[in-house]
Chains A and B, each alone.
Chain A
Amino acid sequence: MNYDLHMSGDRKTTIATKQSTRDELQALIRPGETFDDLLRRLADSYRSQIARRRMAWEVRTANDAKNAAAVARAERFADRLAALGDERGGAP
C-alpha cells in the first residue's frame, strides 16, 4: 500500500507499507490529523521516551559515581568476578 505524506515546505514522498500496517496507523489518526502529522507525532513520542530514559540513566550514573566508596566496592567486586571468570576458563 502506498500513500502520500503531505509535508508543507517539503517535497512529498511515498512510503510503502503492508495494508495491515497502514490500517493500524490509520486507526491512530486523530480528527484533523494527516498521515504526516501522525508519523511526526509517533516519532516525537518515541524520541521523547528514549531521551527521557537516557537522561534518567545519565543523571543516575553521574550521581552514583560521586560516591567514591561505592565505586571502590564495585571495582573490588568486578575484580572478583574477573577472577571467577578466569577460574571458569574464559576471559570475561
Chain B
Amino acid sequence: MRKGQVLTTDYIVAVSIFILIMGFTMYTWGSTLYRARQDYLTLELMNTAKRSSDQLVRTQGRPIDWETNVSSLESLGLASSDRVISQAKFDELAGLDYGDLRRYVGVGGHHVYLKLSLGDDSLLGEAGAVPTGSIVVNSRRIVSVENNTGYLDVIVWNAPTGEVIPVVQ
C-alpha cells in the first residue's frame, strides 16, 4: 500500500513537471511563430513601401503625360522630374478607383494611403484608404511640389480579412 502511494506521488510530480515544460514550450513556440509571421509581413510591407515610393517620386509614369488621359495609364508615376511631384498627376491619381490605385501602386494584397503635403504639413491631397491595420509602414519622401518643398507619405498597411476599409473620397 505504502509502495503504491510513493509511486503515485512520484508519478504526479513527474507529470506536473512534464505538463509545465510542455505548456511553456508550446506557448514559446506559438509566440515565436506568431512573431516570425508578423516579422515577415512587416518586411513585405517595408519592401512594398520602399519600391512604391521610389516609383512614385522618381518616375513620370507611362505614358509620361498620363494625367491628360487616365484611361491610357500603363505605369504610375507622379514626378515631372526626379522628386518633383506634379499636382495634376496626384489629383488624377486621387480620382482613381481604389482597386485600380492599389494595382497601379503595386501593393498586392495590402492597402495603401497616399498623402501629399507642404513642409508646414498643410495638406495638398490624399488618396487611398486611411490606415486602420495593426502593421503600418510609412515611407515619407521629401519632394518639390508647386515650387515648394513638401512631403509625399506612402503608407502601406495590412488589414484583417473581412474588415471594412475606409477609402478616402
Whether A associates with B in a native complex is no
Residues of A within 8 A of B (CB): none
